[in-house]
Amino acid sequence: MSTAQREAVVAGDPHPARVPRWWTAGRIVSKNPSSAVIETRCQAAKVLDVRVQGDDGECCGA
């Protein structure tokens, strides 16, 4: 994910989740996200043609 893609997703989210998240090495990492945060990330992943992967290997998105 490029910086421009990340910024577009953040700017387009009318209700940004206030959870700890870190963007590093092309990944966004969240600690203990709520179900709402996971759903938002999965929706963004579909738009960006990327995937969301949980700690247990489960995925959504592309």
Sequence spans of domains, the chain: 3-61
Residue 35 confidence (pLDDT): 84
Residues 14-34 have pLDDT tens digits of 666 666 667 777 777 888 888
The whole-chain average pLDDT of the chain stands at 76
Residues above pLDDT 70, as percent of the chain:
77
- Distance between CA atoms of residues 40 and 15, nearest Å: 10
| Nearest alpha carbon to residue 29 among 59, 54, 60 | 54
Confidence class for position 13, pLDDT limits 50, 70, 90: low
